[in-house]
Amino acid sequence: MDYPATAASLDHLPNGLTVILDPDPAAPVISAQVWVETGSLHEGSLLGSGVSHFLEHMVFKGGGRFGADELATSVQAAGGHWNAYTTFDRTVYYIDGPASGLGTFLEVLAAMVFTPALPEEEFEKEKDVIRREIDMGLDDPDDVSGRLMFSTAFTSDPRRHPVIGHRGLFDEISYPGLTGYHRSRYTPDRCCLCLSGDFDAEAVKAQIEALFGGFARGSGAEPVVPQDPVQLGPRRGRATFSVPASKISLAWKIPPLGHPDVPAYDLAAAVLGRGRSARLYRHLREERGLALEISAWSWSQAGRGGLFAISAEAVPEKRDELIAAILAELADFPSTALDDDLAKARRQIAASQFKSLTTASGRATDLASNWHEARDLDFTRRYLAALKATTAADVRRAMARLTEDQMSLSILDPADAPAPATLKRATRVRPEPECVTLPNGATIALLPDPRVPIFTAQVAVRAGLVSEIPENAGLNALFAATLPQGTVRRSAAELAGLLESHGATLGAASGNNALLAQMGGLSPDLSTLLPLLAEVLVEPAFHGDSIEREKASQTASLREAMEDPLSTAFRLARAHLFDGIGYGIHALGTEASLAGLDRFALSAHHSRHFQGSNTVVALAGDFDLVHAREVLAEGIGRLPMGTPWVPPSATVRGDFEIEAFLPKKQAVLALAYPGCSALAPERFALRMIQEWCTDMAGPLFIRIREELGLAYQVGATQFHGHDAGFFGFYLATDPSQVDLAQRELVSEISKIAEDGIPEDAFERVRATVLSSLALGLQSPGSIARLAAIDVLFGLPVTHHREVAAIFQTITPGEVKQAAAKLLGTRPVTARVLPAG
């Protein structure tokens, strides 16, 4: 299958603004994106300060006719979901939402990008917010490991600096420096406006000309961006951190995008480190047990060389042996047979690219990225063709250049570790789903969607966290990690190889109320792949070596979570709220409970829960209804009928305060209230409250983050259980301000408990919720997941389509009543503070 040629148009306004229009009436949604060709590479005299990222924050403070609050409320009222991000070479602003909001989205983007207010009174306040963000990054081991890798691999190239900037250089940014940077870099000739979704192209062109045509073209030379000199020898970087395992990166410089060797490196990365059947994963994790996790990746930019890298985690005792084994694998790579592995890699990459076309946001990102990198909207199509044309000889020749003397090795060790010695055209027709019950009691939900030749099968089984007790805590997480690793007929390597040769994915996850398994693939392979899914569900092997590897990996994740302030705060709050049982158990378990889990425990869990009466399978995507029903009935029908599993009743209690201490820079606060069940009528009102408390136009963000500058992170989260739920508030702040931040958070919660959502904001919140629902119904994967969970809880297979109508009828009075009920009791309060 070839990647479809784009039907999008490319045009330029007289001032140099590039305009990409991709009308697609398949769904009434829109993605509007402005790509500014400036990032941390382009900061000139301010290099390393993070001024690009700082400016990204400041443009949200108002612009054009909009004040800061008016920007947020206007986007929210139009149902928009907006955000931005900054990388080395770009800053991207995007709004996704209903097609009816396009006019508002365009006006907001034009105002904030080209005529931002950049209020001087907000300058120092926003600086404090970003200082908290910098501290959060320095608390995150993955962030620290990534910084170490880039600073080791690059010596002169600006990519050696973190995009967010170094704290000392960031502190030196002046207000004139920020505004001057905006004037010099945010010019229309350096920008691309890309729209994808349901709109009339001719009508939109006039809007764009009116809103964007009056901005002046830029002037002045581009900043000189240095390139790294030729690497003359290996480079090494090492640091220590509070992590349970060593994080290792081996990286090599590779040519820029457009060089004929780049497709070869992409294919080699997939062969070596993409998926469970990849060579490094299979040889060094599964067979030899040297790595806890391992992957490979390749990354290049236009006009600037990139990296081929292998990232891994290992216990410190096996770190050096793992590095030597990786180098041995690379040395042997050119002499091995590659044809079958390359065919699998091409299919994997094609499947991934096809999936990006299922949403308006994905299509807009693909088009804008193609323009940014290649000035060619069909670059993805041409690049996939280049991958197809790349031979095994090409890959061998490219990989032979990755010698040890050209390597950059970075290691983030525990503190006590010794130093080392693709797309069918969418249609307006939406086929109706159907739901059938098999003789063994299993339910099959079929949700056809012919837009793209892919499918997703989502399995939901009654189990999850509420099926555990403290003595076997972590069972469901370990079960989910081990389930896809082989069956009684096939080894883990055979299963992974078969899946990945079809570009398919298979995974499992554990939730609060269910065990989930998901398979995705290309539609022509459905007859091959669905029987494999059934085989995994009915005949899992639970090999002892797989269990031990996953236990080691889960233990490492548990230790890392125990050092994360936000995770710790919620763990403590939930444990008390639910009396340490059911939903109060930590999903990863404890080291003691994990040590006691074995093949017998997993097999017993499978026997009790994987029965027809406990199972729902939802299939969404492009397939023939009759054929899919027959294939699923044959495979899933092999499960025994069994008896429905009924979860135990939850115990809920509140009014308790907990404090914990970690060696971190930030303080975190979590407040936990008893939420509602998955079928409670007030769940819709609570969703409105959650949105109101999380949105950038909501009271928590405006008061605590914007007005007072007390927190970088503040918001609300919730989950629904069988008979009880959880509704939590959280914030991350400077330790010296934690008491004030807590008082302000409690004050804002009290206002919500008394008043609900103010009437002048109610419709904006409703619009945002409705937009979230629409955006979440674009891809087969999200549709299948929603349908499977709904049916598992006894709701109709079409419930996900009906939810929007429910939100359309909800009233401020109903939300106020739900807020009073939810927040009328004293919560469990957990504070995590820096040690010492």
pLDDT at site 427: 42
1 falls in which pLDDT band (50, 70, 90)?
A: low
Whether pLDDT at 295 is above 50: yes
Over 70: is that where the pLDDT of 132 sits?
Answer: yes
Q: Looking at residue 734, what is its pLDDT?
A: 93
| Residues with Cβ within 8 Å of residue 796, at least 6 apart in sequence | 435, 790, 802
At 789, give phi and psi (nearest 5°). -65, -40
519 Cα distance to chain centroid: 18
CB under 8 A, 24+ apart: contacts of 650-653:
650/466, 650/578, 650/582, 650/583, 650/721, 650/722, 650/723, 650/724, 651/578, 651/579, 651/581, 651/582, 652/577, 652/578, 652/579, 652/724, 653/576, 653/577, 653/579, 653/828
Whether pLDDT at 617 is above 70: yes
Tens-place pLDDT, residues 630-684: 999 999 999 999 999 999 999 999 889 999 999 999 999 999 999 999 999 999 9
Of residues 246, 192, 519, the one with CA closest to residue 377: 192
- Percent of the chain scored above 70 by pLDDT? 99
Please compute the mean of the pLDDT values over residues 702-717 and round it to a whole number. Answer: 92
Tell me what pLDDT residue 425 has: 38
Asked if pLDDT for residue 426 goes beyond 70, the answer is no
Query: What mean pLDDT is reported for the chain?
Result: 94
Mean pLDDT of 50-63: 96
Strands 235-241 and 191-197: unpaired
Per-residue pLDDT for 424 more than 60? no
Amino acid 553: pLDDT: 96
Confidence of residue 143 (pLDDT cuts 50, 70, 90): very high
**DSSP-assigned beta bridge partners for residue 677:** 721
Q: Spell out a b/e string for 231-265, using b for 16 or more CB atoms within 10 Å of the CB, else e.
A: beeebebeeebebbbbbbbbbbbbbebeeebbbbb
pLDDT single digits (tens) 179-197: 999 999 999 999 999 999 9
Return phi, psi of residue 307, to 5°.
-135, 145
Check residue 428 and give its pLDDT.
47
Render pLDDT for 810-833 as a digit per residue (tens, 0 to 9).
Answer: 999 999 999 999 998 899 999 999
Lowest mean pLDDT among 144-148, 216-220, 474-478, 488-492: 216-220
Contact 736, 729 (CB under 8 A): no
List b or e across 675-712, with b for residues whose CB sees 16 or more CB atoms inside 10 angstroms: bbbbebebbbbbbbbbbbbbbbbbbbbbbbbbebbbbb
Contact 355, 505 (CB under 8 A): no
Residues 6+ apart with CB under 8 A from 519: 456, 457, 504, 505, 506, 529, 530, 532, 533
**Chain segment 388-403, per-residue pLDDT in tens:** 999 999 999 999 999 9
Q: 422 pLDDT exceeds 70?
A: no
The pLDDT confidence band at residue 91, using thresholds 50, 70 and 90, is: very high
| Average confidence (pLDDT) over 269-295 | 94
- Which of these ranges, 221-225, 408-412, 722-726, has the smallest mean pLDDT? 221-225
Coil, strand or helix at 422: coil
**Dist CA 237 CA 150 (whole Å):** 10
Domains belonging to the chain, first-starting first, are: 9-212 (3.30.830.10), 235-414 (3.30.830.10), 434-636 (3.30.830.10), 656-834 (3.30.830.10)
State residue 220's pLDDT score.
77
Q: What is the pLDDT of residues 527-579, one digit of tens each?
A: 999 999 999 999 999 999 999 999 999 999 999 999 999 999 999 999 999 99
Categorize the per-residue pLDDT at 276 as very low, low, confident or very high, splitting at 50, 70 and 90: confident
430: pLDDT confidence band, cut at 50, 70 and 90? low
